[in-house]
Amino acid sequence: MRDTRESRLLLVLLIAIAFALITVDIRGGEESPVDGARQAAATVFGPIENGVSAAVDPVGNAIGAVRDSGNRHDRISALEKENAALKARLGSDDRTNSRVRQLDAMLKKAGAGQYGIKGAEVIAIGAAQGFSWTITIDAGSNDGIRRDMTVLNGEGLVGRVTTVGPGTATVLLANDPDFTVGTRMEKTDELGFATGQGSRPLSVQFLNGKAEVKPGDRLVTFGSSKDKPFVPGVPVGEVVRVDPSGGALTRTVYVKPYVGFTKLDIVGVVVQAPREDPRDAVLPKKPAKADPKPTPTVTVTVQPDGDLVDGSGKVVGNINEKPGGDAAGDAAGDRQDAARQPDNAADDQEQR
């Protein structure tokens, strides 16, 4: 429609009519003359409004969710951080307890052998030296660590120091194929040399080919000249298999080491050797043997008639019974034999 004088007059007229209808509707109340028209319009346009509302409501809900998502995200993040902190605390408590036990066991070993040790933590497994079985510890020359020092933990021999830096050191583990240590067997003092075999038991060659060795025998380090690289008396392991000597000059046995080389954490470097060889004092105590169970005993008394009566008064037999026979029947048979003996004697007299 073009903007003309007629169109303006029409617009003013429509507005005037609208105000007039509104005034009449308000004054009429429930009996308004336009109520019928309003209901007809509601009937026609109601479904359209509901459809538009259904289409618009999800959008409104989505807008509200986006508006509230920031608060929810912050709360979830706070809960996740709190949960992670609790897990870390529980994990650290377990690890702390484990390390306390390791440290306590190591100090007891050092005390039993009179070793002066420097505690250290394993910070890496494996080193730049090929595929050797090694660990890196957080103690070095600044801590008094030197090359060819013995390394132990609460279980036994770990290895020896091979490379030393200012703050770290590399330890060659006792199960490495390039590792060899002199050993002495508990009580018998048989000497040998233990060599690492990776994840398999240590191979020990005894100097005496006729040495009496059996599974369960235990070995300790023999010690080196000037206590380097090994101090004496450090537990090595237990014999698990013995190869027959076959007349050879040496004898080979296989020893399971006390140390678990794949789970090292706290170790001690022996910085001061003992004044005397501790011998077997550092070996763990053997478990006590269980006492044999007592055998129950039953007291049986013999009655005048030959019955055997136990402690409860129950008759359990008779001394006159013969194995596999009836005592009463046997007694009756004996009496019949005795009665027949005079008749037999008379018959013999008549025959003569």
Q: For residue 249, name the pLDDT band (cuts at 50, 70, 90).
A: confident
Residue 34 has pLDDT above 70, yes or no: no
pTM (2 d.p.) = 0.58
Question: 291 in helix, strand or coil?
Answer: coil
Q: What pLDDT, on the 0 to 100 scale, is given for residue 43?
A: 54
* 13 or 269, higher pLDDT: 269
Determine which of 13-17, 146-150, 258-262 has the lowest per-residue pLDDT on average: 13-17
Backbone angles phi, psi at 323, to 5 degrees: -60, 125
Q: What pLDDT, on the 0 to 100 scale, is given for residue 279?
A: 92
Which pLDDT tens digit goes with each residue over 252-303? 899 999 999 999 999 999 999 999 999 999 998 887 766 666 666 667 677 7
Q: What pLDDT, on the 0 to 100 scale, is given for residue 95?
A: 74
Q: For residue 147, name the pLDDT band (cuts at 50, 70, 90).
A: very high
- Give the Cα separation of 283 and 233 in Å (integer): 8
Q: What pLDDT, on the 0 to 100 scale, is given for residue 292?
A: 65
Determine which of 72-76, 197-201, 247-251, 263-267 has the lowest per-residue pLDDT on average: 72-76
**DSSP E strands, the chain:** 116-125, 134-137, 150-152, 157-164, 169-173, 180-185, 191-197, 200-206, 218-221, 235-242, 251-257, 266-272, 301-302, 307-309, 315-318
Which pLDDT tens digit goes with each residue over 187-222? 999 999 999 999 999 999 999 988 899 999 999 999
- Percentage of the chain beyond pLDDT 70 is 65
